[in-house]
């Protein structure tokens, strides 16, 4: 039999198999725990990983480009990408895969940037394709693009600060002294902790000219020279001046981008050659196939991805008799062939994340560039002053070269040569060291005269550099000159063309929309769902977020109807039911504030669906007033998505009721008083922002609680509640309130 292992005695004070403190609960302050454990991580992601700085780069980009610069890849020769990745790990210890991914995004072959920083050779994949993967780093080669000359110009002249790398074996720059606003020239996207950044690209020539004009004229109109974003994949930008002004002013907003297409009449097909930057070829093809299979798009007979060496190309074969313009208008609404680029210009300025508009970003870059030019000028000045000082010492011995030779020859100890030269010619130690190091062959008058001829030129240069440092205007002139040089040397024509409203609005309005029946659901939290009757019959209970519930359900709606979403900021956002996908009861639906790009902090509180803008909207306010506004007041000739001043904001709105025709509305105050009012007695106002008329007279500290369209049985005694307006309303009798609660 095997021997049993002899158990060692348990330590004193601890029983066998028992761990001290096991099962006990230790209370920790949540704020202290977050500060110790989570805040360092969050700050690291924000400051050192996800958010770009004013030079236009994240740390990973900057480390890669600086490594390539130190490898001498700014010239004509390329090297294997694996070599670059390995060298970059001296600055960026995050693994070769992450570094190579960064390099791919910056490359010319990937086509993600308007002006690539890496000149690549080999298969680097494509930004517009999900399935076209890039080759491994051992197969590809790269070097820096000539544009990088403008990123690293004068970096060795103390233009920016340097810090130690992670193991203090070498130094790296904290920023790159870019001579143009690279932060706006190339797109940048990052997701940090609690914040994100999404910067679109602008045309280099337009950015440089705008920056130069803003320096010369601080009140320069940005839109006059910086027309709109310019995406590397081209496309068509639907020009919206108000949206662009908002982006230029606040750094937030959205830009609508469409694909570019042509119709081949001989082949009866549509060729799509440019797509929005927010989607991929595969996503578009898959979506069109789904629409064809579901029967929502019947004009398409086939769709193919014909992307090749010539570039991106999606071909859509049409059925006979199909109008290509109307088909594309339908696909713009139903697929990502038209998409929205949401801008969030969040940039680190002096280590602080700030959301800035284009104008403020250009001003911040100008301040940064001014500091770079000032530091470069101070560096050049110091170098020239040092050289001038040495040459002035050399000039001193020109008066008597023989004396200098004699002093050196007659000095017994080497250590006394410099002091004796200082005493003999009245020069300082630095000058004496310089003179003492001159070779014997150079101790002739010709050499010394040639060197001292530089003194006058150096004195002139020193005076000019001092003048630059003393005059801010001269520094700005240098920045402007360099900006225009960059624009002239590297500028390219716009890739994204602009479509103005009169060019696309008419086609959008004429586009045919299939008017099949749907059910519309809108929840209290602002979620929207569109469900077909067939899908609704097969579904169970409507799924909502915890604490949310369906607020409005419209049963007999059509896919072609217009939707109006009223918000708590007295605005209304317009959309079409066809803009939303058919869904199921088991999904949450679309979050309307995000879907319609509402303002920050704005919430949708009511929905109206209409096919013809008949009827009216009744706005009931907390102060007891009600405004009756015809729904036709919200009908617009152009395809406007947002209307300001949708209703009066003088008092908080408590209920928004859409009524196709006059009916009775029950008003309830916080004191429990009820008032039943026929809407025919409320005068209609044509102005949307009208404050309305007093319907319910409120006593001190009372307010209108809610209002609802009256239905039989809502109150036990409707006759008592009917009063001529304005009226205070009636309290329910005591016996009616026993064990009952009135419900609206």
Active-site positions read 139
How far is residue 434 from each of residues 8, 416, 438, measured CA to CA in Å? 80, 15, 7
DSSP state of 606: E
Alpha-carbon distance of 324 to 268, in angstroms, equals 9
Select from 621, 682, 685, 691 the least CA-distant residue to 656. 621
* Cβ-based neighbour number of residue 304 at 10 Å: 12
CB-count exposure of residue 402 (10 Å: 0-12, 13-18, 19+): exposed
Alpha-carbon distance of 585 to 529, in angstroms, equals 8
Alpha-carbon distance of 702 to 704, in angstroms, equals 7
Alpha-carbon distance of 720 to 494, in angstroms, equals 71
The reply to whether omega before 453 is within 30° of 0 (cis) is no
Select from 656, 646, 612, 607 the least CA-distant residue to 632. 612
Q: Tell the residue number behind the tokens 């789904």, with chain if given.
A: 290
Specify whether the CB–CB gap between 43 and 173 falls below 8 A.
no
Alpha-carbon distance of 735 to 632, in angstroms, equals 45
DSSP state of 515: -
Alpha-carbon distance of 365 to 681, in angstroms, equals 61
- List phi, psi (to 5°) of 184: -100, -15
Report the Cα 349 to chain-centroid distance in Å: 16
Q: How are beta strands 338-344 and 314-318 bridged, if at all?
A: unpaired
DSSP state of 6: P
Q: How are beta strands 693-694 and 625-630 bridged, if at all?
A: antiparallel
Select from 277, 250, 293, 307 the least CA-distant residue to 132. 307
Specify which residues 693 forms β-bridges with.
626
With b for 16 or more beta-carbon neighbours within 10 A and e for fewer, the 419-451 pattern comes to ebbbebbebeeebbbbbbebeeeebeeeebeeb
Alpha-carbon distance of 627 to 683, in angstroms, equals 8
Specify whether the CB–CB gap between 334 and 296 falls below 8 A.
yes
Alpha-helical regions (H) of 15-143:
30-33, 39-45, 59-70, 81-88, 96-105
Alpha-carbon distance of 384 to 378, in angstroms, equals 10
DSSP state of 302: E
Q: Which sign does the torsion angle of CA 678, 683, 685, 688 carry?
A: negative
Alpha-carbon distance of 713 to 135, in angstroms, equals 72
Alpha-carbon distance of 744 to 730, in angstroms, equals 16
CB-count exposure of residue 67 (10 Å: 0-12, 13-18, 19+): buried
CB-count exposure of residue 110 (10 Å: 0-12, 13-18, 19+): buried
Quick check: helix, strand or coil at residue 449?
A: helix
Three-state SS letters, 175-243? CCCCCCCHHHHCCEEEECCCCEEEECCCCHHHHHHHHHHHHHCCCCCHHHHCCCCCCCCCCEEECCHHH
Q: Which residues fall within 8 angstroms of residue 636, CB to CB, at 6 or more apart?
A: 574, 643
């Amino acid at each position: 039999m095997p021997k049993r292992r002899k158990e060692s005695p348990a330590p004193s004070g601890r029983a066998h198999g028992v761990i001290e403190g096991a099962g006990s609960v230790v209370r920790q302050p949540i704020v202290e725990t977050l500060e110790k454990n989570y805040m360092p991580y969050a700050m690291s992601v924000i400051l050192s990983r996800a958010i770009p700085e004013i030079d236009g780069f994240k740390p990973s980009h900057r480390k890669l480009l600086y490594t390539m610069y130190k490898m001498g890849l700014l010239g004509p020769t390329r090297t294997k990408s694996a070599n670059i990745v390995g060298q970059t790990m001296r600055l960026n210890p995050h693994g070769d895969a992450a570094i190579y991914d960064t390099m791919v995004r910056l490359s010319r072959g990937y086509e993600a940037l308007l002006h690539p920083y890496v000149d690549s050779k080999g298969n680097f994949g494509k930004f517009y394709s999900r399935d076209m993967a890039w080759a491994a780093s051992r197969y590809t080669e790269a070097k820096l693009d000539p544009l990088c000359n403008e990123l690293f110009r004068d970096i060795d002249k103390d233009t920016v600060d340097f810090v130690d790398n992670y193991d203090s074996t070498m130094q790296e720059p904290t920023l790159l002294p870019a001579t143009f606003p690279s932060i706006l020239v190339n797109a940048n996207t990052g997701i940090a902790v609690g914040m994100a950044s999404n910067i679109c690209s602008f045309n280099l020539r337009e950015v440089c000219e705008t920056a130069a004009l803003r320096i010369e004229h601080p009140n320069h109109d940005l839109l006059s020279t910086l027309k709109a974003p310019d995406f590397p994949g081209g496309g068509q930008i639907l020009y919206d001046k108000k949206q662009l002004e908002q982006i230029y002013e606040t750094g937030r907003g959205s830009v609508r981008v469409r694909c570019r297409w042509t119709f081949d009449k001989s082949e009866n097909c549509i060729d799509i050659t440019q797509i929005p930057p927010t989607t991929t070829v595969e996503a578009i093809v898959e979506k069109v196939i789904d629409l064809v299979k579901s029967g929502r798009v019947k004009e398409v007979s086939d769709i193919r991805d014909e992307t090749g060496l010539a570039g991106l190309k999606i071909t859509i074969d049409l059925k006979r008799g199909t109008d290509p313009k109307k088909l594309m208008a339908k696909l713009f609404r139903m697929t990502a062939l038209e998409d929205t680029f949401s801008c969030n210009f969040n940039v680190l300025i002096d280590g602080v994340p700030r959301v800035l508009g284009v104008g403020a970003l250009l001003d911040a870059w100008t301040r940064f560039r001014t500091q770079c030019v000032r530091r470069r000028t101070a560096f050049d000045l110091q170098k020239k002053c040092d050289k001038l000082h040495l040459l002035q010492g050399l000039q001193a011995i020109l008066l008597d070269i023989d004396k200098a030779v004699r002093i050196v020859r007659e000095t017994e100890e080497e250590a006394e040569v410099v002091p004796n030269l200082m005493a003999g010619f009245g020069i300082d130690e630095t000058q004496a060291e310089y003179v003492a190091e001159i070779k014997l062959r150079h101790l002739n008058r010709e050499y010394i005269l040639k060197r001292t001829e530089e003194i006058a030129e150096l004195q002139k240069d020193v005076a000019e550099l001092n003048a630059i440092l003393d005059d801010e205007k001269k520094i700005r002139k240098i920045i402007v000159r360099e900006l225009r040089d960059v624009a002239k040397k590297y500028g390219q024509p716009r890739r994204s063309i602009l479509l103005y409203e009169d060019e696309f609005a008419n086609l959008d309005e004429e586009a045919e929309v299939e008017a099949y029946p749907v059910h519309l659901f809108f929840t209290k939290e602002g979620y929207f769902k569109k469900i077909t009757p067939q899908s609704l019959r097969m579904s169970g209970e409507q799924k909502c977020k915890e604490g949310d519930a369906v607020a409005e359900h419209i049963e007999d709606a059509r896919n072609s109807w217009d939707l109006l979403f009223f918000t708590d900021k007295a605005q209304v956002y317009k959309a079409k039911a066809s803009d939303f996908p058919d869904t199921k009861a088991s999904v949450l639906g679309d979050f309307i504030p995000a879907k319609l790009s509402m303002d920050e902090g704005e919430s949708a509180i009511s929905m109206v669906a209409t096919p013809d803008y008949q009827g009216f909207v009744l706005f009931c306010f907390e102060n007891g007033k009600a405004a009756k506004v015809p729904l036709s007041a919200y009908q617009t000739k152009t395809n406007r998505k947002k209307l300001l001043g949708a209703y009066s904001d003088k008092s908080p709105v408590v209920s928004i009721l859409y009524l196709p025709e006059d009916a009775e509305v029950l008003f309830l105050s916080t004191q429990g008083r009820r008032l039943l009012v026929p809407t025919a007695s409320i005068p209609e106002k044509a102005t949307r922002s009208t404050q309305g008329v007093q319907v319910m007279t409120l006593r001190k500290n009372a307010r209108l609680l809610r209002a609802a369209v009256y239905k039989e049985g809502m109150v036990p005694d409707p006759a008592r509640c009917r009063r001529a307006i304005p009226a205070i309303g009636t309290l329910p009798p005591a016996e009616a309130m026993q064990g009952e609660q009135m419900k609206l």
